[in-house]
Amino acid sequence: MKLQSSLSLLALAAASPLASAQYILGVESTTDTVILFSAFDGSVVTPGYINLAVASASTPIEAIVVGNEIWVSDQVADKLMRFTLDGTTHLGDVVGGMDNIRGLELVGNEVWVSNSGTAGGAPNDAVIRFSTAGVNLGFFAAGDPFDVVNFQGDVLVANILGDDLDRHDLTGAFLGAFHNSDGVSGIDFPEQVTVRANGNVLAAGFSAPIGIFEYDPTGAQINYWPVGNGNRGVLELGNGNILFSDGQGFKVLDPGTGIATTVLANTGGRFLTRFAGAGPAPIVTYCYGDGSGTACPCANDSVPGNNEGCLNSLGSGGKLLASGTPSITSDTVVLSGSGMPNSSALYFQGTTQLNGGLGSVFGDGLRCAGGSIIRLGTKANAGGASLYPGGGDPSVSVRGLISAPGVRTYQVWYRNAAAFCAPETFNLTNGVEITWGA
């Protein structure tokens, strides 16, 4: 059936998603997880942003923002799973009247879901409409749709039956093929379809010729990159590269060179969606020496809840905090260490949380910051405390050579010369992770 009334085009007007989104929600169907990526360069920000297992997920496909919630489609469980924006709480499911669902899109004030089956009263090949309260509002017929996306006041539907990208207006009326593929030299089995900042359209080709396809606003194919293996998701990044997913993981394509680099391997990548809201706290502490992670080397655990490193010879744990604004263009971040002896303290930066954030034994404490290490500066503790940057020091982002938004980790290595614990005469604070913005 066709829609009984058209949606207002004004409801579709919004700021550029590339300008407003800081993150990307990437659905992963091997461990049933939503991963948070940087919208600028595709790097992993939070590998387990949403645990879909709590909703008994089966084959999750796409996550989108609906009001103050995140909705995730499940192809096999035939439901839309609802979560809070911070990903911590499952709010329930939208169920009924769906079978073999795939991609979905917020169109005006409705959620449009691509559907292909008939079980449970589902309408076969169609796009089903739901209110943002989860009420089924009807459907319109579409050729075996795998995705639906807003485009120039209409919608594009990925039609895997005809290997085409079809165009429908906001009443659901079929307007014709946006791109008519022969499925041989052109795209075969289009999965996710997204729109670039310049108005061009990207599509992920699942079957041979496997790759990423680009079309101009008239539907003419202008680019084809033969990358991936059973491609599923595709989305432009803020730096002009393209994040895409396949059955082997998540990858970044440089459209200038045609080279794809793996971001996350050995995982079943699905669809990708820009996400502007409720990202992780920009500054968080982790890797405490209180027994909650890797055990301290001499049973020198600190008090749970103090959020500090393993105990030193003074009976306190070194503690690192960060304050200020983690912005590359207006950096005011200050790293503050305390609870240490009056000795030298090396402030350093890493790119990863060591041992998954649990830390690894090092000297009298735990090493928490790993990856590519940059020494920010050595300070002399007074009253057991110091900070970086001090007077005359370059900012954290400048000294840390941070030129693009992303995640860095921080820690303080300090001298503890007293005979205590391991033969080494040093210890470390807890870790701090900072998500840097532009």
Q: What is the pTM of this model?
A: 0.64
354 assigned to some structural domain: yes
Are 320 and 340 within one domain? yes
> Which helix H or strand E contains 338, and what residues bound it?
strand 334-338
What radius of gyration, in Å, describes the C-alpha atoms of the chain?
A: 25
Does the pLDDT value for residue 433 go beyond 60?
yes
- Determine how β-strand 426-428 pairs with β-strand 69-74: unpaired
Dihedral of the alpha carbons of 44, 45, 46, 50, in degrees to the nearest 10: -90
Helix (H, G, I), strand (E, B) or coil at 115: strand
Q: Do residues 426 and 396 share a domain?
A: yes
Last residue of a domain, one of 275, 307, 330: 275
Domain count, the chain: 2
Domain's final residue, options 275, 294, 310: 275
pLDDT tens readout for residues 57-111: 999 999 999 988 999 999 999 999 999 988 989 999 999 999 999 999 999 989 9
> Domain boundary at 275, 309, 326, which?
275
- Residue 19 within any structural domain of the chain: yes
177 in Cβ contact with 184 (< 8 Å): no
Of residues 152, 159, 199, the one with CA closest to residue 177:
159
Are residues 46 and 190 both part of a single domain? yes
Yes or no: say if 319 and 327 are a contact pair by the CB < 8 Å rule: no
**190: in domain:** yes
- Residue 310 lies inside a defined structural domain of this protein: yes
Q: Which helix (H) or strand (E) holds 397?
A: helix 396-399
Indicate if 154 and 208 belong to the same structural domain: yes
DSSP code, position 211:
E
Q: Is residue 382 part of a domain?
A: yes
Domain that holds residue 224: 9-275
Same domain membership, residue 293 and residue 265: no
- For the chain, percent of residues with pLDDT exceeding 70: 94
Instruction: Write out the two tokens for 75.
Output: 């192809």
Does residue 85 form part of some domain?
A: yes
pLDDT digits (tens, 9 = 90+) for 364-376: 999 999 999 999 9
pLDDT band (50, 70, 90) for residue 210: very high
Same-domain check for residues 325 and 294: yes
The single residue listed with the structure tokens 């409720």 is: 278
For residues 291 and 261, membership in a common domain is answered with no
**Would you give the DSSP letter of residue 317?**
B
